[in-house]
Structure 1
Amino acid sequence: MTVFEELTRRGYIKQLTHPEEIKNLLEKDKVVFYIGFDPTADSLHVGHFIALMFMAHMQRAGHVPIALLGAATAMIGDPSGKTDMRSMMTRETIDNNAECMKKQMERLIDFSEGRAIMDNNANWLFDLNYIDFLRDVGVHFSVNNMLRADSIRLRLERGLSFLEFNYMLMQSYDFLVLHQKYNCIMQLGGDDQWSNMLGGMDLIRRKEGKDAFAMTCTLLTNSEGQKMGKTVNGALWLDKNKTSGHDFYQYWRNVDDADVIKCLKLLTFYPIEEIERMEREWTGQQLNEAKRILAFEVTSLIHGKEEAQAVEKAAQALFGSGSDLSAVPQIPVSAADIGRTLLDILTEHGVFPSKSEGRRNIEQGGVTLNDEKISDVNRTLNETDLTEGDAMVRKGKKKFYRMVRTEG
């Protein structure tokens, strides 16, 4: 099976510029392609994950990916899909974010022995002379055409800064530079990047007289068309210091029945033939097993097989017939915590993102301590709560934490 067929069957491809040419290229040639990642946070999130999987499937088929870190474009901010302008970040923050993202990418992409390239557009954009850039690049862009691009048109009513208006030119220039440096002929990315991709292709044609290509991948949405990857605490991060392995696993374990097959196709390397068989034949309780497979496979890819086994073991202990609770997220409590409110302790350890959120959970009956539903926001932790030094806290229906007594 060709990679084009694999990507099609898994549902990755949303739009592409030259269907037959791209199909033939991917079957017959070794293609250098790129995906850009603006380091606007110190971790990738699930929205980036699907792009990395897109990249990984291409690499496994023998093509050469370029992971382009956009330290320079992150200082401008991409208006695509945004209703407001991004907050401005310092160069130091952006550089730190880029380094964190690089480490996460290496879990899915093999950068050894030239099998993949990592570059940073700060290497060419930071030193540009503005007048030269306008004369060399800006002259090839029609403002009328730019205003018709969705990424810009949808922002005009709310207001679009001239700073952001430059983003399309800069991303297009990235494609040109990568074409010149590495013979990169294809850009991949989310469907919200379509207009920017076309700008880069056109710039290569005008400047180099050569063809370039683009493919977009579908955005990760649920059966109702809403973006997936949002949690009570915000984004579903790939850094387990931001989203624990337990919470990450449980997110996928609890996806809707209507979304599990789609997620298996897009976010795992599970054989497509097996997934299609599940799609045809599995219903009811069998879909629950599909969710377990999904949660384990995705957690293994992002946090490693050992972590996936540990959190799965914890989940089985809580919801199945197991009894080993060692992998359930722990909250250390000491003698100094006796008499403190549960609200303070749980917020301090990240169970709630804020006291107001915690107060709302407690008042609505969403918190249980050792099978006792807590409704009083002033409820304190008592010695009697710590049976044999432990107490079990449940938030909502399926999030569990162990309070563990420590010395001190």
Structure 2
Amino acid sequence: MELLEDLKWRGIIYQQTDEDGLAELLNNEKISLYCGADPTADSLHIGHLVPFLTLRRFQDHGHRPIVLVGGATGLIGDPSGKSEERNLQTLEVVEKNVQGIQKQLEQVFQSEGDNAAIMVNNYDWTSKLDIITFLRDFGKHIGINYMLAKDTISSRLETGISFTEFTYTILQAMDFLHLYENYNCKMQIGGSDQWGNITTGLELIRKMAPEGSKAYGMTIPLVTKSDGTKFGKTAGGAVWLDPEKTSPYEFYQFWINTADADVVKYLKYFTFLSRNEIEALEESLQTEAHLRKAQKALAEEMTRLIHGEEALQQAIKISEALFSGNVKELSAAEIKQGFKDVPSFEASADEDWLLVDLLVTAKISSSKRQAREDITNGAISINGEKVTDANYVLSGADQIENQFTIIRRGKKKYFLIKY
């Protein structure tokens, strides 16, 4: 399937500046194209992914991706989608964020071959400009009325926008021009909120590049959920790519819990599965939805892409252990992931506990009487094994790697004893 046809089938194309011209260009040559992200945090979250995954689709068809992390524009702040000014970050914080995001995005792209991904930071060229050069060589080409017509700016006129954020679109336009002149970059991809910035870049190329120069822009639709809630958010907050912020297990669980109404769309947006594979999963959703094959495929593809095969297998192992209750097979590292949000109680590793006393002290049972009933009724499990002896004493033998003991009350209520 041709690239643009595949993108249309996946529902990935939202806006294009010249559909026919781009189709002709892609049919005749391999191009360089870019997508950028500002380092407003030290990690991206899954809401940032689709434009970069789209860039990867171009790479898979032989084109060269340029991945820009905006060390300069990150110091300013993109007004897109914001109702008020961003808090400015220090250069040191932004540099740290740049390194974190670049490392994450390196996972997504092929780093070898004729079309290996190029990583760039706009601070490298923007920081060398002085204010006079900026105003004379770039600001002169972008009219105030042109900028006021941009939604990102016009939407802020009532609440207020600083000159700093007002000039952001010019800085991003300078990026496109720089990449066009130095990397023969002929296209920019971005989220739907980036349309104004992309078209400003095309305007700057039209006015400053040699006559006849041609570049293109494409935006990706906002990812939405069928129930109207915000995509990429959980009760714990955003789903980050950084495994320290969102563990591979939590990442896997986010995708596997995708609603039936959303899963096919997400398979198209986020995975590199073929049309035939996705259509087979869609059919499975209609005929054997209880097997959740589509959700499992989505969770496996995404966790493997972002965290690697080993982390994926670990996430699957944790998921299966929690479902079956066979948690004694888990390592301490796996317990940290899988039981991150369960109630916990800290105890001394050298102290033996009468189980009844521990259940009350750790607030697992409401009283000693209730604790004894829970034990004798078979409601209490230690590391996946039922304990029915009310005189049972918890000892070092019940500790997993001298760090944890997992207590379950009933079928689903887990508690973690930390040593």
TM-score normalised by the shorter chain: which range applies? 0.7 to 0.9
CA–CA separation in structure 2 for the residues paired with 1:385 and 1:336 = 8
Alpha-carbon distance change, 233 to 265 in structure 1, aligned in 2, over 3 angstroms: same
State the 1:392 CA deviation.
Answer: 4.0
Residue 298 of structure 1: which of 284, 299, 302 is its match? Answer: 302
Alpha-carbon distance change, 71 to 312 in structure 1, aligned in 2, over 3 angstroms: same
CA–CA separation in structure 2 for the residues paired with 1:314 and 1:255 = 18
> Could you say which residue in structure 2 is the equivalent of 1:59?
59
Alpha-carbon distance change, 370 to 92 in structure 1, aligned in 2, over 3 angstroms: farther
TM alignment of 1:42-81, pairs within 5 A: 42-81=42-81
State the 1:27 CA deviation.
Answer: 2.6
State the 1:226 CA deviation.
Answer: 4.2
> Could you say which residue in structure 2 is the equivalent of 1:244?
247
The answer to whether residue 42 in structure 2 is matched with residue 39 in structure 1 is no
The answer to whether residue 313 in structure 2 is matched with residue 309 in structure 1 is yes
**Kept in 1: contact 2:350–2:396 (CA 8 A):** no
CA–CA separation in structure 2 for the residues paired with 1:393 and 1:12 = 44
TM alignment of 1:312-391, pairs within 5 A: 312-320=316-324, 324-326=329-331, 327-328=334-335, 329=337, 333-335=346-348, 388-389=398-399, 390-391=405-406
State the 1:237 CA deviation.
Answer: 0.5
> Could you say which residue in structure 2 is the equivalent of 1:7?
7
**Kept in 1: contact 2:194–2:219 (CA 8 A):** yes
State the 1:211 CA deviation.
Answer: 1.2
CA–CA separation in structure 1 for the residues paired with 2:414 and 2:150 = 48
State the 1:47 CA deviation.
Answer: 1.7
The answer to whether residue 226 in structure 2 is matched with residue 213 in structure 1 is no
Structure 1, 316-325 or 190-199: larger mean CA deviation: 316-325
Structure 1, 151-160 or 90-99: larger mean CA deviation: 151-160
CA–CA separation in structure 2 for the residues paired with 1:248 and 1:16 = 32
Deviation digits for residues 162-218 of structure 1 (CA, Å, limit 9, x no counterpart): 110000000001100111101111000111000110000011011113111001112
Output the amino acid matched with 2:25.
L
CA–CA separation in structure 1 for the residues paired with 2:10 and 2:170 = 32
The answer to whether residue 416 in structure 2 is matched with residue 403 in structure 1 is yes
**Kept in 1: contact 2:192–2:219 (CA 8 A):** yes
Alpha-carbon distance change, 196 to 401 in structure 1, aligned in 2, over 3 angstroms: farther
Structure 1, 109-118 or 260-269: larger mean CA deviation: 109-118
State the 1:10 CA deviation.
Answer: 1.5
Deviation digits for residues 210-256 of structure 1 (CA, Å, limit 9, x no counterpart): 11100111222212454311122321110100101111111111111
> Could you say which residue in structure 2 is the equivalent of 1:271?
274
**Kept in 2: contact 1:169–1:199 (CA 8 A):** yes
Alpha-carbon distance change, 79 to 287 in structure 1, aligned in 2, over 3 angstroms: farther
State the 1:117 CA deviation.
Answer: 1.1
**Kept in 2: contact 1:385–1:391 (CA 8 A):** no
Number of residue pairs aligned between Structure 1 and Structure 2: 369
State the 1:269 CA deviation.
Answer: 1.2
> Could you say which residue in structure 1 is the equivalent of 2:117?
116
Q: CA RMSD in A?
A: 3.1
CA–CA separation in structure 1 for the residues paired with 2:173 and 2:380 = 57
Alpha-carbon distance change, 314 to 281 in structure 1, aligned in 2, over 3 angstroms: closer
State the 1:370 CA deviation.
Answer: 5.7
CA–CA separation in structure 2 for the residues paired with 1:156 and 1:235 = 29
State the 1:320 CA deviation.
Answer: 4.7
The answer to whether residue 159 in structure 2 is matched with residue 158 in structure 1 is yes
CA–CA separation in structure 2 for the residues paired with 1:142 and 1:254 = 48
CA–CA separation in structure 2 for the residues paired with 1:185 and 1:49 = 21
Give the % identical residues.
43
- Structure 2: gaps of 5 or more residues: 363-378, 382-392, 400-404
CA–CA separation in structure 2 for the residues paired with 1:224 and 1:198 = 32
Q: Secondary structure at the match of 2:86?
A: coil
- Structure 1: gaps of 5 or more residues: 346-368, 372-382
